[in-house]
Structure 1
């Protein structure tokens, strides 16, 4: 048992070739001595005069199969011994606090503040190869999108789904976002961290509370989004967000409160730029700790021993140059088969669905919507491509609770709040415990008031 526990393959996927080789060898041996088709058409007493007896072939097939099996084991990278080395990693922790209040829908920067902020964060996460990263989104309250993790790719995949219209509670409580970021670092045992606040402005409450919420050993950087001229906040077919007097609200970037917080907390402040000079200023390498050795953690390195499996193959390979041996190799790769689908039996529709899902994950939503053939997937592709009318049509074909919920989200995007409310109610009739539907129904009700 100890030997089995210490046995390891660096590339275990290569072992899938073993059954393929064995199946090929089986078919080759089975059809090598096939009955002569003339034997059923010529009288038995004449066959010995007209038909040649099959030649007896040397049994080289077993040696070839053995050589292939040994080569596959060598390719799989077998190892049964280890050596360790210390782990080096960046010790900095970055928590991104992203403003998802309705004002982030303002289009004074194209296409809108929220989209530009998410694209900027995608660039940041693409460049961030080491260290721990977390994502917090806030509106009226703060919510953890992703806890501290070294997997930046996961956070990149979550970013596109964030939308100000889907936040459970309206408002702009930046101080709660900072508090949630401090909680995440405390839970992870981080004593010195860095918070990046991405916002289009803060109110007086946040201005007073951010300094209190910020830890003593926590650095703060602020990325300001928007322009001082500002723009209205679009709300689908309902026009623009208005105040209690019915006047259209113009959301402007007010840097004064942010500069006050900068002075009180020694934070870094920069406005959103087209290039990455803003990130370079906010996340300068000088404020990121250097590589440190984790002496208590060691990375086990398996020592590959595959070359030992190739030693017996060498004489077999040398003998393969004898006359006739190499001709057996292509025969092992030929299987008698009829025209049809691939080995796994995928139909054209299934292949199109798989290609569509791959395009969806690559964020090629226009291509994905043409390939996908299930309502849920197709509707999601239309939704991500901002074709909300087509998304509504696709989600309408999905009678599940999730289908009604997704349809409600698309209807909100179109400004059809009453229809969205009905869709959420239908979802909750099928699944009363669906919390997302409850939250979005509450949001729709508030927007209708």
Structure 2
């Protein structure tokens, strides 16, 4: 015996607890009297009936519970053969690609509206086979009869009037004959043809083919696109198509020939409208000649026996109702208080806060991720990315390890506390000497500190008077000093004070600039970041030049996030020298000559014509050449 819905068997767990409680209660009642009275005297001393009748309601409840759960679980033990039926309808859609379809009396154009209508037809063609033909002077196969309408829908947007390889007037009769041959080769006995056009073309020939199709068991419906007011037909070289007198040709919809054509084919005539109401009318029910045939396939279907168990419950329910047991149950259900609402989102049921935060981190919402992260390493990474360097430093306070010291050094450097950053990088290298990122940032910080140290000798006052003679690596405090400001007696003290103030200002300005730079750039791990404005010359590195300073948490979120790409994204956030595919690293590693070659290659790629309809154009041309006998 099998169960169709085995999870319902979990509802037997409360029943097992109920039986266990009854057994414990009966044992406890018996044990009390057994301890006080001899067993052979106990039947004569007990007054009244035993507790067995009082247990009958609970026993009936247990039996009813068991039967109900088994019925809901769906017990089956017999297979029944079930024949398989399939809809074997064949539908051919004929799209007119004559130049008049470019008229814009229907916005954006008649052809665009026709494509929308065909997409609606394909959307409702969930069963059977469907084919798509395009025609103007000749018919062309876009897709033969297939059960996969999606493959046809992918080609519809590329259908334009310039795909037709030969000019000439539209031949609706040839298109109908070609569609009839296609249905005949497929063995269709009652196919459906839907003509999407704005003109009947050669009406006499089209009517003759429509009657022939109806006599063969097929059906022709017409979906007209256009308006009676009409619109000019755009010309290929610009302007509009003109008639023999030089007047602009107006393409107007004449519904009578198309309506007559639909009557001859035994189908319907509809005009295109916004929405899918017209296409649903065309594809409604059996009016399209659909046939449901029994195939040779046989499917097995289980016969469910659960409803028979419900018949056993009916006497129990009647007994419970007569004894008044159902009334308290119904009353209890009615007076139960409503369940209080809780502010729990759907994602809270399936993802822990760290997993939700990692999702926000991968999406770029680092501030929300910092609030949700409970893991301190990831919280530090999120705060660092959001520009809260002090918060990142606080989150790292309770962590140890080489990666933690490296991340702590990055945060200290961003805050302008370069001396402490040097110590943090050195501690990271002591624990992991092979950490190239820490060594790289350590060198940058040391260079910055060397440039900010005061010179050993007093600079020449004449050099201070002439700003043009100052070196590129001098401290900003020397640039701020005006000529003649220093006195020969207290020049050293004033210079020391100026240097101290300049260094403090440099740290503050540097920290602010780095924060702005960090906030404006979502990826701080690129090696080609432009240095933020600082107090020293731009040729020297500062904290914003740390090419590999993104925080790297030692552990990643749980594996379920890998399926959504969150964990992978966070791993990409860990910069290293082994990532040549990072945009910034690639740009910085290119020489001027290589960059010029890359730009030239991109320019050549932009010159490649983007022609998604090229395959259809070549296919139509090959069909035309084969039809003329110029190709085998």
Q: What TM-score do you get using the length of structure 1 for normalisation? A: 0.50
Whichever of the two has the greater Rg, that structure is 2
Q: What TM-score do you get using the length of structure 2 for normalisation? A: 0.36
